């Protein structure tokens, strides 16, 4: 019977930065699942850059309903890793913590579920347990979308309205809702030339009227209560605007200017309305518009029996919301869904990422109780 630390070390030791293939770490997950008696569905696909990616969906137990656990195996880059004693993919235990890229977000969580399953491996599951590990959560939920669109096991979950846990780090608090995410890119094309001549066309100048409209739209979402929800902190949609012209010299007119916009709508808000207004503004000024992603907010009834049961298992007084997003944006067909995982979001993506051993132990214990509650 392996414990969560051992499972976590085996996962963290396999690099799986989103820009690269997650095939090797998916191989490790698949081996663990098969050794624990799971049947495995594996989805292979190419990401938008043509890089091979894998989703692993495991199923164990009979019947319908039960429990589904969702996770991702990709991690953010570790180019700025700051721990001199060891690399980002050398899992290292020190001072009651496991250090390594992905230890918190979210291989430690996967390890807790694997360890929980190993604790009940000799028992008969009378309802199914599903364990899902996706690719590319960190860069647009590409793997989760593939699961929702094409996994036969996911269709089983929807048909049986399986209870679902997203295992992202919440310090084992019970999270019933999180924000969605929308993104688009607007490009202004100019012509590079020496700025002292008439030959150039400055793409930044052409972008300015559009940016002015984005500022007005941003301000509207800050002041109009339609775009506010007091259940969240911050209560607004967290609109973020980025600008980049890759300008290499002050005396050359910018040949291209790119504006990226990402915002996080909350339940009951129509993010498509903001996208439509931005696209109309881009067209008015002759700019190129590209829609990049849409993820709906996650919302579960905080007064549901599922949430109340989970609060009792987790020994928490009340469920909460978070402002970050998860693969759950793709799994909104599941009516009983929440987020609960070990580790703190404050450690995710840091240049010395870690998870406490106490959280690994506590996460394993809670996940084991969930399996016993809903699958046995």
Quote the DSSP letter at residue 296.
P
Residue with tokens 């509650």: 373
CB 59 within 8 A of CB 41: yes
CB 135 within 8 A of CB 300: no
Residue with tokens 């020190």: 94
Active site residue 171: no
Q: What H or E segment, with its residue span, contains residue 340?
A: none
**Cα–Cα distance measured from residue 330 to residue 30, given in angstroms and rounded to the nearest whole number:** 22
Instruction: Determine the length of the chain.
Output: 376
**Cα–Cα distance measured from residue 355 to residue 343, given in angstroms and rounded to the nearest whole number:** 5
Active site residue 136: no
Give the tokens for residue 193. 């030339």
The active-site residue, picked from 74, 105, 136, 368, is: 74
Give the tokens for residue 171. 């310090």
The active-site residue, picked from 137, 168, 173, 353, is: 137
Residue 191's φ and ψ, nearest 5 degrees, are -145, 125
The residues annotated with a catalytic role in the active site are 74, 137
């Amino acid at each position: 019977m392996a414990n969560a630390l051992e499972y976590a070390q085996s996962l963290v030791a396999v690099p799986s930065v989103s820009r690269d293939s997650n095939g090797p770490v998916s191989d490790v997950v698949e081996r663990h699942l098969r050794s624990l008696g799971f049947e495995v569905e594996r989805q292979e696909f190419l990401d938008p850059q043509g890089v091979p990616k894998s989703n692993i969906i495991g199923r164990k137990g009979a019947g319908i309903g039960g429990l589904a656990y969702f996770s991702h195996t990709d991690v953010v880059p570790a180019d700025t890793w700051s721990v001199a004693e060891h690399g980002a993919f050398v899992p290292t235990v020190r001072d009651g913590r496991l250090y390594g890229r992905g230890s918190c977000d979210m291989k430690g969580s996967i390890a807790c579920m694997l360890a929980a399953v190993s604790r009940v491996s000799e028992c008969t599951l009378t309802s199914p347990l599903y364990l899902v590990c996706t690719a590319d959560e960190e860069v647009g939920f590409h793997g989760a979308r593939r699961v929702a669109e094409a996994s036969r096991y996911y269709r089983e979950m929807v048909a049986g309205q399986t209870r679902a846990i997203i295992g992202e780090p919440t310090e084992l608090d019970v999270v019933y809702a999180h924000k969605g995410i929308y993104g688009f890119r607007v490009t202004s094309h100019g012509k590079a030339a020496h700025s002292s001549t008439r030959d150039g066309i400055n793409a930044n100048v052409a972008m300015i009227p559009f940016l002015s409209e984005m500022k007005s739209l941003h301000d509207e979402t800050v002041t109009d209560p339609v775009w506010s929800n007091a259940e969240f902190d911050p209560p607004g949609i967290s609109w973020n605007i980025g600008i980049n012209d890759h300008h290499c010299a002050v005396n050359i007119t910018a040949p291209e200017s790119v504006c990226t916009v990402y915002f996080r709508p909350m339940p009951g808000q129509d993010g498509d309305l903001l996208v439509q207004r931005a696209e109309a503004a881009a067209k008015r000024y002759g700019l190129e518009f590209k829609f990049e992603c849409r993820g709906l907010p996650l919302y579960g009834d905080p007064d549901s029996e599922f949430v109340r049961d989970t609060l009792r298992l987790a020994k928490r007084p009340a469920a909460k919301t978070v402002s970050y997003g998860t693969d759950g944006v793709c799994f909104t067909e599941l009516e009983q869904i929440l987020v609960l995982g070990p580790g703190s979001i404050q450690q995710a993506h840091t240049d010395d990422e870690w998870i406490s051993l106490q959280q690994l132990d506590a996460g394993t214990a809670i996940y084991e109780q969930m399996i016993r509650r809903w699958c046995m």
